[in-house]
A and B are shown apart, each in its own frame.
Chain A
Amino acid sequence: MADLIQVQNLQTSFFTPEGEVRSVDGVSFEIGEGKTLGLVGESGCGKSVTSLSIMRLIPSPPGQIVGGAIYYRGRDLLKLNKEEMRKIRGNEISMIFQEPMTSLNPVFTVGNQIGEAIQLHQGLGKRETRAKTIEMLRLVKIADPESRVDSYPHQLSGGMRQRVMIAMALSCHPNLLIADEPTTALDVTIQAQILELIKELQQKMGMALLLITHDLGVVAERADEVAIMYAGKIVERGSAEAIFARPLHPYTVGLLNSLPGTGGKKKKRLDAIPGVVPSPLDLPSGCRFRDRCPKAAGICAEAEPLLSEKEQGHPVACYFPG
Chain B
Amino acid sequence: MSLLEIRDLKKHFPVGEGLFSRNKGAVKAVDGVSLTVEEGETLGIVGESGCGKSTLGRTILRLIEPTSGEVVFQGKNLVAMSQRELREMRRQMQIIFQDPYASLNPRMRVGDIVGEGLEIHKLAKGKAKRDRVMELLHQVGLREDHYGRYPHEFSGGQRQRIGIARALAVNPKFIVADEPVSSLDVSIQAQIINLLQELQEKMHLTYFFISHDLRVVEHISHRVAIMYLGKVVEIAKSETIYQDAKHPYTRALLSAVPMPDISQRKEHVILQGDVPSPVHPPPGCAFHPRCAYREAICDKTEPPLDFAADGHGVACHVFGPIKRA
Q: Are A220 and B261 touching (Cβ within 8 A)? A: yes
Residues on the B chain within 8 Å of A267, using CB: 219
Task: In the complex, identify which listed stretch (A1-9, A130-138, A271-279) lies at the interface while the others stay far away.
Answer: A271-279
Question: B190 at the A/B interface (Cβ < 8 Å)?
Answer: yes
Q: Which of A120-128, A166-174, A184-192 contacts B (4 or more CB under 8 A)?
A: A184-192
Find A269's partner among B197, B214, B275 (CB 8 Å cutoff): B197
Residues of A contacting B157 in the complex (Cβ-Cβ under 8 angstroms): 276
A258 contacts B258, CB within 8 Å?
Answer: no
Whether A240 and B262, one on each chain, are in contact in the complex, defined by CB atoms closer than 8 angstroms, is yes
Partner-binding segment picked from A15-23, A81-89, A94-102, A209-217: A209-217
Task: Give the dominant DSSP class at B's interface.
Answer: helix
Structural contact, B190 and A189, CB atoms closer than 8 A: no
Q: Are B253 and A270 in contact (CB under 8 A)?
A: no
Contact B268 A196 (CB under 8 A): yes
Which residue from B191, B260, B261 sits with its C-beta under 8 Å from A272?
A: B191
Check: A262 CB closer than 8 A to any chain B CB: yes
Contacts of A270 in B (CB 8 A): 190, 193-194, 219
Residues of chain A contacted by B199 (CB below 8 angstroms) = none
Chain B 238-266, CB within 8 Å of chain A: the 1/0 string? Answer: 00001100000000110111111110110
Q: Which residue of chain A has its CB nearest to the CB of B46?
A: A188
- Closest B residue to A256 by beta carbon equals B260
Q: Are A244 and B261 in contact (CB under 8 A)?
A: yes
Q: Are A261 and B258 interface neighbours, CB within 8 A?
A: no
- Report the interface size for chain B: residues with CB under 8 A from the other chain: 41
Query: What is the count of residue pairs linking A and B with beta-carbon distances less than 8 angstroms?
Result: 117
Distance, CA A193 to CA B309, complexed state (A):
36
**B249-289: which have CB < 8 Å to A?**
252-253, 255-262, 264-265, 268, 270-271, 274-275
Annotate A276-292 by CB proximity to B: 1 below 8 A, 0 otherwise.
11000000000000000
> Given the known A-B contacts A214-B186, A262-B242, are A274 and B260 also in contact in the complex, defined by CB atoms under 8 Å?
no
What size tier do the contact residues of chain A reach? Answer: 35 or more
Docked complex Cα distance between A103 and B74 (Å): 49
For residue A187, which residues in chain B have a CB less than 8 angstroms away from its CB? 48-49, 212, 275
Give CA–CA (A159, B270) in the complex, Å: 13
In the complex, the answer to whether B253 meets A188 with C-beta atoms within 8 Å is yes
**For B49, what are the chain A residues with a Cβ–Cβ distance below 8 Å?**
158, 187
Given A187-B48, A270-B190, A272-B194, are A220 and B260 neighbors across the interface (CB < 8 Å)? yes
| Docked CA distance A20–B268 (Å) | 45
Q: Take A187-B49, A218-B258, A266-B219 as given contacts and tell me if A273 and B187 are in contact as well, using a CB distance cutoff of 8 Å.
A: yes
Q: B: which residues have CB within 8 A of A? A: 48-49, 155, 157-158, 185-191, 193-194, 197, 212, 214-216, 218-220, 242-243, 252-253, 255-262, 264-265, 268, 270-271, 274-275
A residues with a Cβ closer than 8 A to B are: 42-43, 157-160, 187-193, 195-196, 214-221, 240-241, 244-245, 254-256, 258-263, 266-267, 269-274, 276-277
Query: Besides A260-B193, A277-B185, 14 other CB < 8 A contacts?
Result: A189-B252, A189-B253, A193-B270, A195-B258, A217-B215, A220-B265, A241-B262, A254-B187, A259-B190, A263-B243, A266-B218, A269-B194, A269-B197, A274-B191
5 A-B pairs with the lowest CB-CB distances in the bound complex, closest first: A217-B258, A260-B219, A272-B190, A258-B190, A187-B48
